[in-house]
Amino acid sequence: MISADDLRNIAFERLADAETLLLARRFDSSFYLCGYSIEIALKHKICKTLNWAGFPSSSKEFEKLRSLRTHDLELLLSLTGFESELKIRYFDEWSLVSNWTPESRYNVTGLVSEAKANEMFTCTSIILLNL
């Protein structure tokens, strides 16, 4: 089990890592880590909504919670209790961020422009600060 507090800290650490990569002009990797920071932050929000001390992390812990073993940002957001508010207040930011998939780790380098990486970082920062 990963504690809810640890999830929040990890989400912000991944965002800091994304910023470091952005400054190093590693745009694809920065974009990718932004998506992961959102995923982790959504799992933190689920814990808070359900009043859980932590989020399952092992196969055994996921046995009865298989639907939570996902990287699908839309599904995770739907479980937070914050979906409507986030999509209204942060529609533009969510529209960009929600296009992230973990499969992008297999993309060849150079697909993410500097502008797109900067936009992803900005949108991710806004959402993280408001989840």
Q: Which domains does the chain have, with CATH numbers?
A: 2-130 (1.20.120.330)
- Residue 25, judged by CB atoms within 10 A of its CB (0-12, 13-18, 19+), counts as exposed
Percent of all residues in the chain with a pLDDT value above 70, rounded to a whole number: 89
Q: How confident is the model at residue 56 (pLDDT cuts 50, 70, 90)?
A: low
Give the contacts of 21 (CB within 8 A, at least 6 positions apart): 27, 29, 30, 33
Average pLDDT over residues 56-74: 66
Q: With beta carbons less than 8 A apart as the criterion, state whether 19 and 105 touch.
A: no
pLDDT recorded at residue 45: 93
Buried b (16+ CB within 10 A) or exposed e, 110-121: eebeeeebebbb
